[in-house]
Amino acid sequence: MTMAGTPSILSTGMTPIEGLGRPAELVLRNAKIYTGDRAHPTASAAAIRDGRFVAVGEESDVAPHVGVATRIIDARGRRVIPGLNDSHQHVIRTGLRYLLELRWDGVASLRVALRMLCEQAERTPPGQWVRVIGGWSSEQFAEQRIPTIGELNEAAPETPVAVTHAYQAVLLNRAALDALGYTRDTPDPPGGQFVRNHAGVPTGLLLATPSPMIIYSTLARTPDTSPNVQLVSTRYLLNELNRFGLTSVMDAAGGFQSFPDNYRSVMQLAEQGELSLRLAYYLFPQTPGQELEDFKRWMQMVRPGDGDRWLRCNGAGENLVWATNDYENFAEPRPELPPNATHELDTAARLLLGNGWGFRMHATYDESIRAALDVFERIKADGAWSEGIRWIFDHAETVSPRSLERIKALGGAISVQHRMAYQGSAFARRYGAQQAAVSPPIRAMLDLGLRVGAGTDAPRVSSYNPWVSLAWLVTGRTVGGALLYPPENRVSREVALDMYTTAGADLSGESDVKGTISVGKYGDLAVLSADYFTVPEDDISRIESLLTVVDGRIVYSAGEYEDTAPPLPPIPFSWSPIAHYGAYQQSPPRGVRQAQALTDAVAESTEHRIWREGRGEIGADVVRQGHHGCY
């Protein structure tokens, strides 16, 4: 490679942008790049300057951009893709307490999950809790079930534990019931239900029916973190997302995520130049009945599009009014919308549209989608719809073909997530395999020409790991391996990746700067641990990034690139579950994984453990660890 700044780039037919001669910050070479750009789909080298691609092509195209200070990354023939963009996740809220969470994402057996819980309980200081906040489901465990309260009590006899399972239930151990003061005399909380024993005492199982308010409100009563810890905590979460090649996320907001109070961490990180991932955020009214007041107040403070290339406001949602929320508890019947729902949605939508605000709206079932479309079409008939407004339906698992046409006529887009990968078997048991096979009808959406962004809805229902979601799109299987979709409702690897890159950029209105590896766009990319386009389908979910670049900055590095990314500040408390386990637990390939998970699942009894110890399968120190032992 030449080091001179000769303008040979002109002879390659690439368009140089101003200031050729100043060297690039970062040059990637010897790569197998999927650019996502239809006009130039492949490349082997790219150069980034001032946070944007200045050359994408072959070695000779990037050579003129190399100077003495240019960092050159040799991809050694690895697959490189545009940075991934999750079009629906809840990052801002999660970041605040992420360092307090024990994540079961990816854990292959309940036995291992409980062992982690037990170990974590032993190192958790008095006054603190162990929290497992979603990102897992019974379908991923070899045992195919959730833990019992008895198992939580056994794993953590003294430390309060809260485990949430999707939007179905919260499991509290005895210590947590004591800490919250829940007794026989405590009435059921609004929207939820205590399971009680024969004496009327809550067992610790809290059912989130008909609304998940019980999950929000229980978690809100667990110990909080200081603003400084929230900053560090957010950085660790963003780093974990960078680990999988994510460079952008659309944050769908949520309950107990009030603007601007709970956005301060990401705002401060943006100001300090310490975000490692770009966030497009939404505003979510916090109190049922006061939605309009919230929106009116926020409209005085911020407008869609405000912000910069790292953090920008993108509109209202995913909640517009609480009354239309149809939570996706697939183990329970579909909730009916209250009679006031459409009237409230009408008022809120008119306020937003009248002020030029785009929005996204949570809608799981076709019944809710039809009700919302009736409202939107009425607004349009009144001449109050703003043409060209960016709006999205989120989830849409059971959307009908007719509704898809109506969404298209109104210029809407859809954000789908792999919630069915976590709850697909429960869904199929309730609605049948035939309905499950088209829930959501991904191919029908795409065939109609709708813009469809992919994502996860992490972390309370599903994991944030984008490769698990990409695997779901391509294989049509749940995290437990059950087949949901026939080939007619699956997509190619290329289409799935586009849904995770270009579609996300489209949904946030940033197609001109994001989504592909093209000259002029943001320098966001990931060097992958394995070639997404050629690995066996079963291995897609196991892909990670070895090097993630955002804005030309290396934000995450692993394997042979380890230590190329700048280190994160230390975790402020040594007992953090993240400090001990990290978050997503990567498991070995499927065959080995199943065998191991089953071994873990059956290794329950002390006798069995001693037998395994005798065979040298586990060390004696492991058996005797802790005051009552964690296995």
Binding to Zn ion by residue 554, rule CB under 5 A?
A: no
Quote the least distance from Cβ 197 to Zn ion, whole Å.
Answer: 33
- Rank residues 457 and 551 by Cβ distance to Zn ion and give the closer one: 457
Quote the least distance from Cβ 31 to Zn ion, whole Å.
Answer: 34
Closest residue to bound Zn ion by CB: 362
- Rank residues 179 and 320 by Cβ distance to Zn ion and give the closer one: 320
Amino acid of residue 316: A
Quote the least distance from Cβ 360 to Zn ion, whole Å.
Answer: 9
- Rank residues 34 and 322 by Cβ distance to Zn ion and give the closer one: 322
Quote the least distance from Cβ 395 to Zn ion, whole Å.
Answer: 6
- Rank residues 349 and 555 by Cβ distance to Zn ion and give the closer one: 349
- Rank residues 372 and 546 by Cβ distance to Zn ion and give the closer one: 372
Residue with tokens 């080091």: 3
Q: Which of residues 315-354 bind Zn ion (CB under 5 A)?
A: 318
- Rank residues 64 and 317 by Cβ distance to Zn ion and give the closer one: 317
Task: Report the distance separating Cα 285 and Cα 171, nearest Å.
Answer: 27
Quote the least distance from Cβ 463 to Zn ion, whole Å.
Answer: 14
Binding to Zn ion by residue 151, rule CB under 5 A?
A: no
Binding to Zn ion by residue 528, rule CB under 5 A?
A: no
- Which range touches Zn ion (CB under 5 A), out of 131-139, 197-205, 454-462, 507-515? 454-462
Burial per residue of 77-86, b for 16 or more beta-carbon CB atoms within 10 angstroms, e otherwise: ebbbbbbbbb
Quote the least distance from Cβ 124 to Zn ion, whole Å.
Answer: 28
Strands 45-49 and 52-57: antiparallel
Quote the least distance from Cβ 410 to Zn ion, whole Å.
Answer: 20
> CA distances (Å), 81 to each of 34, 491, 497, 498, 510, in order?
5, 18, 9, 10, 18
Task: Report the distance separating Cα 32 and Cα 305, nearest Å.
Answer: 34
Task: Report the distance separating Cα 597 and Cα 613, nearest Å.
Answer: 18
Binding to Zn ion by residue 457, rule CB under 5 A?
A: yes
Structure tokens at 135: 């990102």
Binding to Zn ion by residue 362, rule CB under 5 A?
A: yes
- Which range touches Zn ion (CB under 5 A), out of 119-127, 239-247, 360-368, 570-578? 360-368
DSSP 145-176: SPPPHHHHHHH-SSS-EEEEETTTEEEE-HHH
- Rank residues 151 and 318 by Cβ distance to Zn ion and give the closer one: 318
Q: Taking CB under 5 A as the rule, which mask of x and - marks residues 50-89 in contact with Zn ion?
A: ----------------------------------------
Task: Report the distance separating Cα 206 and Cα 218, nearest Å.
Answer: 10
- Rank residues 61 and 457 by Cβ distance to Zn ion and give the closer one: 457
Quote the least distance from Cβ 247 to Zn ion, whole Å.
Answer: 20
Structure tokens at 475: 């294989």
- Which range touches Zn ion (CB under 5 A), out of 336-344, 450-458, 523-531, 604-612? 450-458
- Which range touches Zn ion (CB under 5 A), out of 159-167, 357-365, 478-486, 573-581? 357-365
Q: Which of residues 246-275 bind Zn ion (CB under 5 A)?
A: 252
Q: Return the SS3 of 358.
A: coil
- Rank residues 318 and 544 by Cβ distance to Zn ion and give the closer one: 318
Task: Report the distance separating Cα 489 and Cα 320, nearest Å.
Answer: 30
Q: How many residues bind Zn ion (CB under 5 A)?
A: 4
Task: Report the distance separating Cα 30 and Cα 119, nearest Å.
Answer: 44
- Rank residues 163 and 458 by Cβ distance to Zn ion and give the closer one: 458
Q: Which of residues 152-211 bind Zn ion (CB under 5 A)?
A: none
Contact 556, 243 (CB under 8 A): yes
Quote the least distance from Cβ 362 to Zn ion, whole Å.
Answer: 3
- Long-range (24+ apart) CB contacts under 8 A made by 538-543 are 538/475, 538/589, 538/590, 539/589, 540/467, 540/470, 540/471, 540/474, 540/475, 540/493, 541/465, 541/467, 541/468, 541/470, 541/471, 542/467, 542/586, 542/587, 542/589, 543/244, 543/467
Residue 119 CA, chain-centre distance (Å), reads: 26
Task: Report the distance separating Cα 505 and Cα 97, nearest Å.
Answer: 28
Quote the least distance from Cβ 368 to Zn ion, whole Å.
Answer: 11
- Rank residues 173 and 368 by Cβ distance to Zn ion and give the closer one: 368
Task: Report the distance separating Cα 509 and Cα 511, nearest Å.
Answer: 6
Amino acid of residue 429: R
Quote the least distance from Cβ 296 to Zn ion, whole Å.
Answer: 23
Burial class (CB in 10 A: 0-12, 13-18, 19+), 434: exposed
- Rank residues 157 and 191 by Cβ distance to Zn ion and give the closer one: 191
- Which range touches Zn ion (CB under 5 A), out of 55-63, 166-174, 245-253, 524-532? 245-253
Structure tokens at 380: 């349009």
Q: Which of residues 97-116 bind Zn ion (CB under 5 A)?
A: none
Contacts of 215 (CB under 8 A, 6+ apart): 164, 167, 170, 208, 460
- Rank residues 66 and 445 by Cβ distance to Zn ion and give the closer one: 445
Quote the least distance from Cβ 319 to Zn ion, whole Å.
Answer: 8
Strand order in the sheet with 359-363: 84-89, 246-251, 278-283, 311-316, 359-363, 391-395, 413-417, 452-455
Amino acid of residue 554: I
- Which range touches Zn ion (CB under 5 A), out of 114-122, 276-284, 311-319, 542-550? 311-319
Quote the least distance from Cβ 86 to Zn ion, whole Å.
Answer: 11
Quote the least distance from Cβ 249 to Zn ion, whole Å.
Answer: 12
- Rank residues 25 and 318 by Cβ distance to Zn ion and give the closer one: 318
Amino acid of residue 484: L
- Rank residues 242 and 325 by Cβ distance to Zn ion and give the closer one: 325
- Which range touches Zn ion (CB under 5 A), out of 133-141, 408-416, 456-464, 578-586? 456-464
Q: Return the SS3 of 246.
A: strand
Going by the DSSP 8-state scheme, the letter that residue 542 receives in this structure is G
- Which range touches Zn ion (CB under 5 A), out of 61-69, 105-113, 262-270, 312-320? 312-320
Quote the least distance from Cβ 290 to Zn ion, whole Å.
Answer: 20
Name the residues that contact Zn ion, by CB under 5 A. Answer: 252, 318, 362, 457
